[in-house]
Structure formats: structure tokens, C-alpha cells
Amino acid sequence: MISNELYAFISEFSKRQIKKHLVYNQLHQDTTLDEIGIDDLDLDVMLQEFVKKFNVDYSKFNGKRYYGIGIPLVDKNVPIIRKIIGKRKWLPLLEEEREPFTLGHLDSAIEKGVLE
């Protein structure tokens, strides 16, 4: 299970931003944000609100570990783009190299005060 304060935040955000009602007992530490419908631009908005609400330091957060840049044409064609222009810092990781971004990451950030 996730903390009550994270559930309240995610539930409110989900209702307001993506028009989806979440059920507390269906959310776990390993539930990914993609699974509850928070991705791409919604994720950026959610993270901005999250760090502000919980006063979390995100200066060392590397979002590329978890998700693409939000442009499907780029995200899906990273291998082709890398062959053409080489590996660039601004390119997202290949999908299979990305880690799942979970509610556990957010719960840990609330507890530690740092989003890693």
C-alpha cells in the first residue's frame, strides 16, 4: 500500500487532470504512473505539483531513466535517430533501457525529501 498523503495527492490530481477515479486498495508501491494514466505531459505537471506540495528536492532527478520526451515520433524511433545523428544527451533512453516510475518512488521522496 502507499501512504495516505500520497494517495490523497495522486487521487486529487488524477480526478482533476486525467478524469480518472483511483481506488486506494488497488494502488501499491510498484504501481507505475503509466498504469494509472499519468504519462508524458501529465507527468511533468504532476511532478511540478508534487515537489511543491511535499517540498521535495528534485535537483538530481533524471527523468530520462523513466520516460521519454513526450514526442511519440521521437520516443519510438530512438534507435533510428541514434544511427543517423549518434547518441545525444537530449535523446531519451531506448524503451527497454528505461526503468518503471512507480508510486514507490514518490512515497520514498516524501519520506526522504529527495526525488531520485
Which of 64, 46, 18 lies closest to 106 in space, CA to CA?
Answer: 46
Query: Would you state the torsion angle of the CA atoms of residues 41, 42, 43, 47, taken in this order, to the nearest 10 degrees?
Result: 110
Higher pLDDT among residues 80 and 2, named by residue: 2
**47 has pLDDT over 80:** yes
Q: Which of 48-57, 80-89, 91-100 has the highest mean pLDDT?
A: 48-57
What is the mean pLDDT of the segment spanning 63-73? 71
Half-sphere exposure of 37 (CA within 13 A, CB side): 12
Is 55 within 8 Å of 113 (Cβ atoms)? yes
Q: In this structure, which amino acid lies at residue 19?
A: K
CA distances from 78 to 73, 104, 113 (A): 9, 28, 33
Based on the structure, what is the number of domains in the chain? 1
Q: Name the more confident of 69 and 18.
A: 18
pLDDT of residue 115: 94
Q: What is the pLDDT of residue 64?
A: 77
Q: Which residues contact 79 (CB under 8 A, 6 or more apart)?
A: 94
- Interval 70-95 mean pLDDT: 72
Report whether pLDDT(11) > 70. Answer: yes
Taking only the tens place, the pLDDT of each residue in 29-42 is 999 988 888 877 78
What is the residue range of 49's domain? 4-112
* 22 neighbors 1 (Cβ within 8 angstroms): no
Instruction: At 67, list the grid cell.
Output: 520516460
